[in-house]
Structure 1
Amino acid sequence: MATSIQLINSVLASGQYRALLSTIKGFRNGVVYGAKVRFPHALVMTLLFKRGSLKEMARGIAEATFTHSKNLALFVFFYKGITNLLQSFETKRKQHHAFLAAFVTGYFVFGKYNKVNEQINLYLLSRILYGLAKFAVKKGYIPQPKQDTFPWFAAVVWGVVLWLFEYEGDTLQPSLKSFMTYLYNDSNIWHSIKDFLLYNKL
């Protein structure tokens, strides 16, 4: 047993099979990170907004956690595998390798519609739009703002989302619409002290 572990450790330390081993470890990290992120989120959202038996709620949490972990692990595995393959054809890593590998893998892994994939894709969309704006300033495509633009960013985001909620609510993601309904619509309804302070609805 000790000899086997020593052999594995020597292979890992040698740097041999680095591309393959980094792909395998990427899969492992995808599983762990997906579970760490999704489990507490699914648990909280289920306890706050879902109704049903304890078994149904537990199944929902487990399914969401499994889907997130599986998809993230598969994405990392195939992304790293494809970038390593492309690099082997061109002797060194090029910028377009990242886009091509992620484009192909994203289509097959995160292109299937489900609630988990929708949330992950929307999460990334907001981050890349923010990142692209910073990239445009960094490269000089747009001038560096002379004052802090974050308040204007916040104003536009909140102005648009509340307008959509109030007048085009069917265009919003269901979970966003649900919590906005709780905050803005349900706070207009009460019949007594019970559903004014103690409960949202009787």
Structure 2
Amino acid sequence: MESILLNPHYRPLLAIIKGLRNGFMYGVKVRFPHSLVMTFLFHEGTLQDKFAFILRATFQHAKNLAMLTAIYKTLMLIMQRVTGRTHPLQNFLAAFMGGYAVFGENNKVNMQVNLYLLSRVSVGLVRTAVKKGYLPEPKFNVFPLFAGLMWGIVLCLFEYQKGTLQPSLQNSMTYIYNDSTVWSNVWDFLVYNNSLLW
């Protein structure tokens, strides 16, 4: 077995298998604690229902990352063998096809993953544009401006177009901004809040 693992001839195929394994394990490590916390904070139902939801979401996230990794690495290997080289367009096409096939279904897990990527990709594209000289290097700290812009937009959307935001974000905003205006005694002012979070 070790001779196969160390044989350079099998390395590209073994990298696909290990990528499949690593994608699955990473999905479990990321989704399980997230689902555990969010489910117990925001979901109603029996303990059994909550754990079933946590396990379903964890498995879906892990399976999707594993499948995307396998598709991406397989397509990259095929394109590299056909063309004899690698090119950024090949990376994009392989990832596009994998993302379309695996993360293209509109469900809660895929939406969260895709939104996470959107934020990271947006920052990466701006940094690349600055690095390549397409945008000028800022002469001041832009992070406070970025933070203010994000919070200004999200709270305007929350107040006037709440239904356009993700349900988990709506729940968080409702708890922080709306539920903080409602109380009837000292107990529910200081300790207990009548919402799903508590």
Instruction: Please name the residue that 2:138 is paired with.
Output: 145
The amino acid that maps onto 1:25 is K
Counterpart selection for 2:9 from 12, 16, 31 = 16
Q: Which runs of 4+ in 1 moved over 4 A?
A: none
Match of 1:51 in 2: 44
Answer yes or no: is 1:162 the counterpart of 2:155. Answer: yes
Structure 1 residues 15-49: Cα deviation after superposition (integer angstroms, max 9, x where no partner): 12111110000000011000000000000011111
Q: Tell me if 1:191 matches 2:184.
A: yes
**Structure 1 residues without counterparts, runs of 5 or longer:** 1-7
SS of the residue 2:148 aligns to: helix
Equivalent residue pairs, number: 195
2:72 to 71, 79, 90: 79
2:124 to 108, 111, 131: 131
Give the whole-Å Cα distance in 1 for the aligned partners of 2:4 and 2:52. Answer: 40
CA distance in 2, matches of 1:148, 1:18: 45
1:86 deviates by 0.6
What whole-Å deviation, never above 9, does each CA across 1:148-182 have from its counterpart, x for those lacking one? 11111111111111111111111111110111000
RMSD over aligned Cα, in angstroms?
0.9
Q: Counterpart in 1 of 2:194?
A: 201
Q: Does 1:34 align with 2:27?
A: yes
**Partner Cα distance (1:12, 1:92) in 2:** 24
State the distance in 2 between where 1:124 and 1:39 align.
19
SS in 2 for 1:162: helix
Select the structure with the greater relative contact order (CA < 8 A; seq sep ≥ 6).
2
Q: Distance in 1 between matches of 2:175 and 2:6?
A: 54
CA–CA separation in structure 2 for the residues paired with 1:107 and 1:117: 11
TM-score, normalization by structure 1: 0.94
Identity %: 53
Q: 1:84 deviation in Å?
A: 0.8
Does structure 1 residue 111 correspond to structure 2 residue 104? yes
Question: Residue type matched to 2:16 in 1?
Answer: T
* TM-score (norm. length: structure 2): 0.96
Q: Which amino acid aligns with 2:135?
A: I
Q: Residues of 1 paired with 2:4 and 2:189: CA distance?
A: 65
Q: Write out aligned runs for 1:165-184 (5 A).
A: 165-184=158-177
**Structure 2, gaps ≥5 residues long:** none
Q: Tell me, in whole angstroms, the C-alpha distance in 1 between the residues paired with 2:23 and 2:7.
A: 24
Other structure's SS at 1:194 match:
helix
